[in-house]
Amino acid sequence: MAEAPEGAPLALVGVERHYSQGDAKLHILTGADLVLGAGEMVALVAPSGAGKSTLLHIAGLLERPDGGDVIVGNLSSAALDDAARTRLRREAIGFVYQSHYLLGEFSALENVMLPQMIRGLARGEARMRASELLRVLGLKEREGHRPAALSGGEQQRVAIARAIANAPRVLLADEPTGNLDPPTAERVFAMLGAIVRATGLAALVATHNTELAARMDRRVTLHDGKIVESE
Ligand code: ADP
């Protein structure tokens, strides 16, 4: 079983998840262990149906495991009630999905401000921070645009800015460049990597892109419901 070293941003310890399908029981996660260190970018590469999304949902405290624990910082989430889990998720975890899920009626700037305001930051402060993040991601000129007026790569960069707006310790990404053409995927990936290193975030990135996976710090896969290191 994985150790959960002091201060590791994220540790999964013996995580289990089983689904019932008719009479059959599907054992998707059967004791998954993983420790993510600060500033580490880990690729999760596994075939479709292996349980990557399930693992990311559990790691992100969106779903409770049937067994085991998710430790964020030094905080075990197993015993937390739903309100405390939600608070911890908002404080400590950022998500980037394959589709950006930006709110269409809000500008890029507002989309990045919103999670900060939900967490209680004053509007002016959220605006300053959002603006700075968009500048760093090369989107200063696009602040006022709504998502529909942005290219796919720009939308995904706004989604990254939104994910890190609350300075999370952990970033979970599900095919973050999956909808982008190769040069754009490359740029977005490079920015993601730079952010991870500059901020000491721990990132777990599910991807089918073996070329990008090869450039991350480590690669893991799922085998019979357990996490194993891969080449
Ligand atoms: P991946 O992201 O690697 O493609 P998923 O985590 O989405 O895999 O799914 C793993 C397996 O669990 C699949 O066989 C899927 O059909 C099954 N599964 C996922 N969610 C549920 C659910 N809510 N109920 C029943 N089966 C599910």
Residues 67-105 have pLDDT tens digits of 999 999 989 999 999 999 999 999 999 999 888 889 999
Q: What is the radius of gyration, based on Cα positions, of the chain?
A: 17
How large is the average pLDDT for residues 209-228? 95
Q: Which residues are 202's β-sheet partners?
A: 170
Banded model confidence at residue 1, pLDDT cuts 50, 70, 90 = very low
Please determine, for residue 28, whether its predicted confidence score (pLDDT) is greater than 80.
yes
Q: How confident is the model at residue 2 (pLDDT cuts 50, 70, 90)?
A: very low
Strand ranges (E), 60-135: 67-72, 75-76, 93-96
> What tens digit of pLDDT does each residue of 33-76 get?
999 999 999 999 999 999 999 999 999 999 999 999 999 998 99
Instruction: Point out the ligand 1 atom lying closest to the alpha carbon of residue 55.
Output: 6
User: Which of the two residues, 6 and 229, has the higher pLDDT score?
Assistant: 229
- Contacts for 68 with CB less than 8 Å, ≥ 6 apart: 12, 13, 14, 15, 16, 31, 32, 78
**Could you identify the residue written with the tokens 């600060």?**
38
Give the separation between CA 109 and CA 126, rounded to whole angstroms: 9
**Is any atom of ligand 1 closer than 6 Å to the C-beta of 26?**
yes
Query: Which helix or strand (DSSP H or E) is residue 86 part of?
Result: helix 82-92
**Would you say residue 141 has pLDDT above 90?**
yes
- Predicted pLDDT at 39: 94
Which two tokens mark 84? 């405390």
Nearest CA to ligand 1 atom 18: 19
Is 19's C-beta closer than 6 angstroms to any atom of ligand 1?
yes
Rounded to the nearest integer, the mean pLDDT of the chain is: 92
d(CA 205, ligand 1 centre) in Å? 18
Question: Among 16, 23, 28, 62, which is best to mutate for testing ligand 1, by the most ligand atoms less than 8 A from CB?
Answer: 28
The pTM for the full model equals: 0.92
Q: How far apart are CA 114 and CA 178, in angstroms?
A: 25
Ligand 1 pocket check for 21: Cβ under 6 Å:
yes
pLDDT band for position 5 (cuts 50, 70, 90): low
The residue nearest atom 23 of ligand 1, judged by CA position, is 19
pLDDT tens readout for residues 220-231:
999 999 999 998
* The predicted structure's pLDDT at residue 183: 87
Residue at token pair 């995927």: 185
**Token duo for residue 105:** 């009626």
Which of the four pLDDT bands, split at 50, 70 and 90, describes residue 150?
Answer: very high
Reduced to 3 states (helix: H, G, I; strand: E, B; else coil), residue 170 is strand
Length of the chain: 231
d(CA 32, CA 226): 4
CA distances from 170 to 139, 202, 205, 209 (A): 23, 5, 11, 21
